[in-house]
Amino acid sequence: MRAVSFGVSGWTARFDDGFDETSVSSIAAALGQLWSRRHGGAAVAVGYDTRHDSQGYATLVGSILAAYGLTVRVSASACPSPALCCAVAADPACIGGVRVSGSDAPCEYGGISVCGSDGGSVSQRFAKAVDQLVGVAAPVGMDEFDTADLMGPYRACLNRVIKPPGTPHRTLKIVVDPMHGVGAQPLLPLLKELGCDVTLIHGEQREDFGGLHPEAAEPWVDDCEAAVVQGGADLGIVLDGDAMRSAVIDAQGTLVTPHKLIPVLLDHLVRRRHMSGRVVCTMASSAQIRLEAERLKLGFTAVPVGFDRIHDELLDGDVLLGCEEFGGACLPIHLPERDGMLVALLVVESLLRSGQSLAEAVSELEAQIGPMSYGRRDMRLDPAKLRTLSNALPGLNPGIVAGEQPRHVSHADGLKLEFFDDSWLMVRPSRREPTVRIYAEAHSVRRRDKLLNVAIDYVEGGYQQDLLR
């Protein structure tokens, strides 16, 4: 068996290089040992996506977990990850869930991840315990499990959150693109209940995702952008492979990035739905989220990258919204985990109530907090160089960067430099890949690119502080 590294985000590997029955069985055995030891006889839910033999792997996981005396319920059909999370959270007897899903990874990859009893992230401690058992634990046998409908209850859960306007200003024409994944089945009926005119593309569930990389980002949203323009639609909604994240396209066929969309969503939640609470986002997220939270007089907390860090903040009970830099967002009143369909439905609800177009909503917001340009560059490094960089960053405290003096320097997650005009630069070695991620945001593309370039020069130049000037 190839070595498996299991973290809070689970484990992902290629089908032709490690993702096989032996590895999946060992992970299931590790989970079975831990859960049965701590919660003997408790319930566990198992869901799966449309990838190569995901249903078969889910059956394998369910059979192994059942042999440990757990009450196992495997989804009766391929389902979005948020549906599994909702099923776990809604059942007091359920102590966790297993997702057989590669999420937004290419079709050549499979994945196994776990949610806790509230449907949210498991702790670092739990993930470490699983990791230590994988490759050591062997299944004690296989037993029977039940199947369950997770889709119907999930739609009902979404219906409880979405509040249709009494008299909508207009009917929205929407193109929905689930990227051949599992998101169309629950989303389409809900949009139609809101009175929307819906066109579906890439609706057939396919294990190869029709050649698409099932990530709700450029360039994979191009087909939806074209369909919106050609069909004269008001909006496009793209869901990633397991519907944990979504992207939204405006009527001009332009992707509205999460850095702009999340502030629009916050405005709707506070001004029209009269909700309140703290906003929590990762340190690599847009400054526009913080600026909008401040404008709305909401508390704001930035945490290191990783949705488990956001989940830790949700446990305090005062959070309105949590979001990551990739656009995944959650509302704790619904679920302490990302749900791309909920985000898309709330955007639709906002436009129906306001009568605005999405472009108008973004423009209005930027008039309040100012436009920002966000960028990211990933640089692959060999492990030795990545370790050297990780060791160098904590001691870095530059006085001038790209010609400007930072107003704040943070080493909480790599290195983050914030400037007086709200622009910022972040250099963060990845926890899971031999990659350093460089982020920057500024009020102009020129300033953003200057920040990105000095950080790239710093990495390529052997970590010499003078290169940051």
Residue with tokens 């909401």: 298
| Extended beta strands in 1-42, E state | 11-14
The confidence score (pLDDT) of residue 169 equals: 65
3-state DSSP assignment of residue 69: coil
Q: How far apart are CA 79 and CA 349, in angstroms?
A: 24
Helical (H) or strand (E) element with 449: helix 445-460
Asked whether the whole model's pTM tops 0.85, one would answer yes
Q: How far apart are CA 78 and CA 53, in angstroms?
A: 11
Between the CA of residue 422 and those of 141, 366, 427, 439, 443, what are the distances in Å? 57, 14, 17, 14, 8
Do 244 and 82 meet the contact criterion of CB atoms below 8 Å apart? yes
Residues of the chain with pLDDT under 50: none
| Extended beta strands in 54-211, E state | 71-75, 94-100, 109-115, 146-148, 173-177, 197-200
| Extended beta strands in 268-365, E state | 278-282, 300-303, 319-323, 329-330
Residue 135 region by backbone torsions, left for phi larger than 0, else alpha for psi between -120 and 50, else beta:
left
Phi, psi values for residue 351, rounded to 5°: -70, -35
Cα–chain center distance at 322: 10
Token pair of 118 as six digits? 């509230």
Give the closest residue to 27 by CA, choosing from 52, 55, 53, 2. 2
pLDDT tens digits, residue range 440-469?
Answer: 999 999 999 999 999 999 898 876 766 676
The confidence score (pLDDT) of residue 395 equals: 87
| Extended beta strands in 332-442, E state | 373-380, 408-410, 415-418, 424-429, 435-442
Q: How many CA atoms lie less than 13 Å away from 330 in the CB half-sphere?
A: 27
Between the CA of residue 303 and those of 15, 227, 299, 417, what are the distances in Å? 33, 37, 13, 15
The confidence score (pLDDT) of residue 272 equals: 93
3-state DSSP assignment of residue 148: strand
Phi, psi values for residue 453, rounded to 5°: -70, -40
Q: How far apart are CA 342 and CA 161, in angstroms?
A: 8
